[in-house]
Amino acid sequence: MQQIKPSPLKLIRRIIQTAAFFLFPGLFITMFSAIKTLYMAIIDGTFHITAQANELILVLSMLLITALMGRFFCGFLCSFGTMGDFFWVVGKRLKLRRRNLSRRMDQALKSLKYILLIGIVLIGWTLGVSLLSGTANPWTIFGMLTSVAGWPNLTAWVSVGALLLILIMAGSLYIERFFCRYLCPLGAVFAVASKVRLFKIRKPAQHCGNCQACTKQCSMGIPLYGMNVISDGECIDCMNCVDVCPRGNVKANPKPALAAVVAVAAMSGAYFAGTIASSAAAEQTTVIETASRTTSVTAGQYIDGIYTGSASGFRGTTKTQVTVSGGFITDISVLSTDDDASFFNRAERSVTAQILSTQSLSVDTVSGATFSSYAIMDAVTDALKSALVNAGTAEGSAAQVGVNSAETASSIQTEQGLIALEDGTYTGSGSGYRGETSVSVTVENGCITSVKVTNTSDDERFFSRAETTIINEIISGQTPDVDAVSGATCSSNGIMEAVANALGIEFTAAAPAESRHGGHGRR
């Protein structure tokens, strides 16, 4: 096998790959996560240009740069691809027998990644389940592997994602860029975007001999010998073909090294611009949601006090301190975390602001900081376990319920006026999207203190989005007549109607939530 001559271009690539591996090991996860967040927000009907500014900037700029320059992301920046290159070199050093698949087999396997991409999109569309998060995918495990601090998370090492990662590493020993060629759904997205690229690598076939060295050294196994212009979406701009050509016949304008530096600088800039936009959006969300809280949250379900709780994040444990005052969650402080500050800070601002504003423990995660987001939610939930009215002491539970106003202490507000409630547990039903929804409503000291859904025929995906928000708002507002959750209106109405039915009051359908929250409803 012909050796690729060392060249400045190759040196530049290795330096950028190494730097990106250590500086942005999670960049491809961030890209996946951003695409997933946008996609799920769009299909849920909760897309908002400000809330998704980070993802929009990142995804659109990366796709635009790819459409102009080609897949420099894959060739230079993606640490998962760099890992593939590393194992390919290891296989070479170990003198493992390389696999040369037939052209037909190679082409057939390359279509697998498009099938995977379509599968992920369809499953997200129909079931509302993302296959791109959690420890079932190898990218998450790889992200943990690239940080020593992530190693102690032993449960992640016994997972589907870890097994897949080992198989990918093994495959990369025998087939160059094994995962990129055949399996990467993000690579499929980039391949489509790069079809129209303006930066083209040219190799006039009439100046070629019969060496076919470029074809043999192509990282992605593209049959280059018959081509004059490389426009294949599989090309990852690795520039091996430029380096290897003994006749200097493979060229590009602008020069490949210059194009690489420009593309990488533009992509890095887009990444940081997205991060800055995310911070600005989080601060804006804080202002908007804090303002809405004063009108939407009027009662609480927790005993006043200061509580601490902890949960596992991406690198280790996150501890929070939660203050409850007047039945509300009024302050959340992060006492400590093992997660990376750059990711955690983005999650902290957004997640704590959402919890405070919605008084809900299930809020939107921050793209690219999913584990940190869940860690904060779980730590707050852990802290509030002992603050719940039903979990409190006898004197606490009796004393703290419905103390906010004279009206809510003995009655609830309906369109027909104040209605007094007898203490007790009531059951009722309402019409959801697919059929009947049944609830059990507990009234203590004249207040609605608990609503439990005992049965529903609605789709889990929509219903679960409505359930937490609607029940929280009913308890907070002491009325079944609250705003429906956007994208889950029928499920929302089913719960409201069931509560109204249980309490023996007339039900009036609510308006969509975004009209009240300025478009910042839950996803």
Q: Which residues bind ligand SF4 (CB under 6 A)?
A: 28, 74, 78, 80-81, 179-180, 184, 186-187, 190, 201, 203, 208-209, 211-214, 218-220, 222, 224-225, 230, 235-241, 244-245, 247, 249-250
Q: Which two tokens stand for residue 176?
A: 């160059």
Q: How far is the CB of 142 from ligand SF4 (least distance, A)?
A: 10
Give the 3-state secondary structure of 205-260. HHHCCCCCHHHHHCCCCCCCCCCCEECCCCCCCCCHHHHHCCCCCCEECCCHHHHH
Cα(103)–Cα(237) distance, integer angstroms: 21
Q: How far is the CB of 121 from ligand SF4 (least distance, A)?
A: 16
User: Cα dist. 354→45, 65, 294, 351, 376 in Å?
Assistant: 19, 33, 14, 5, 11
Q: How far is the CB of 70 from ligand SF4 (least distance, A)?
A: 8
Pick the closer one to ligand SF4 by CB: 182 or 433: 182
Q: How far is the CB of 117 from ligand SF4 (least distance, A)?
A: 11
Looking at the DSSP bridge assignments, the partners of residue 324 are: 305, 329
Pick the closer one to ligand SF4 by CB: 184 or 383: 184
Pick the closer one to ligand SF4 by CB: 225 or 426: 225
- Run of H or E residues at 88: helix 79-93
Q: How far is the CB of 219 from ligand SF4 (least distance, A)?
A: 5
Q: How far is the CB of 421 from ligand SF4 (least distance, A)?
A: 57
Q: Which residues contact 497 (CB under 8 A, 6 or more apart)?
A: 429, 430, 431, 437, 480, 507
Q: How far is the CB of 180 from ligand SF4 (least distance, A)?
A: 3
Cα(33)–Cα(248) distance, integer angstroms: 40
Contact 226, 103 (CB under 8 A): no
What pairing do the DSSP bridges indicate for beta strands 305-312 and 229-230?
unpaired
Q: How far is the CB of 315 from ligand SF4 (least distance, A)?
A: 22
Helices 27-44 + 256-296 axis angle, to 10: 50
CA atoms within 13 A on the CB side of 122: 6
Q: Which residues of 380-414 are buried (b: 16+ CB within 10 A; e: fewer)?
A: bbbbbeebebeebeeebbeebbbbbeeebeebbeb
Which residue type does 293 have? R
Pick the closer one to ligand SF4 by CB: 81 or 392: 81
Cα(285)–Cα(349) distance, integer angstroms: 9
Pick the closer one to ligand SF4 by CB: 260 or 474: 260
Q: How far is the CB of 15 from ligand SF4 (least distance, A)?
A: 17
Cβ-based neighbour number of residue 204 at 10 Å: 12
Cα(110)–Cα(178) distance, integer angstroms: 10
Pick the closer one to ligand SF4 by CB: 267 or 466: 267
Cα(6)–Cα(404) distance, integer angstroms: 75
Pick the closer one to ligand SF4 by CB: 187 or 327: 187
Q: How far is the CB of 118 from ligand SF4 (least distance, A)?
A: 16
Q: How far is the CB of 189 from ligand SF4 (least distance, A)?
A: 8
Q: Which two tokens stand for residue 498?
A: 């069931």
Pick the closer one to ligand SF4 by CB: 28 or 374: 28
Q: How far is the CB of 365 from ligand SF4 (least distance, A)?
A: 22
Pick the closer one to ligand SF4 by CB: 78 or 334: 78
Pick the closer one to ligand SF4 by CB: 209 or 424: 209
Pick the closer one to ligand SF4 by CB: 108 or 418: 108
Pick the closer one to ligand SF4 by CB: 367 or 478: 367
Residue 484's φ and ψ, nearest 5 degrees, are: -70, 155
Q: How far is the CB of 89 from ligand SF4 (least distance, A)?
A: 16
Pick the closer one to ligand SF4 by CB: 248 or 424: 248
Which residue type does 417 have? G
Q: Find the radius of gyration of the CA atoms of the chain.
A: 28
DSSP 411-435: EEEETTEEEE--SEEEEEEEE-SSS
User: Cα dist. 263→28, 100, 256 in Å?
Assistant: 16, 32, 10
Determine the straight-line distance between the first and last CA of the chain, rounded to whole angstroms: 53
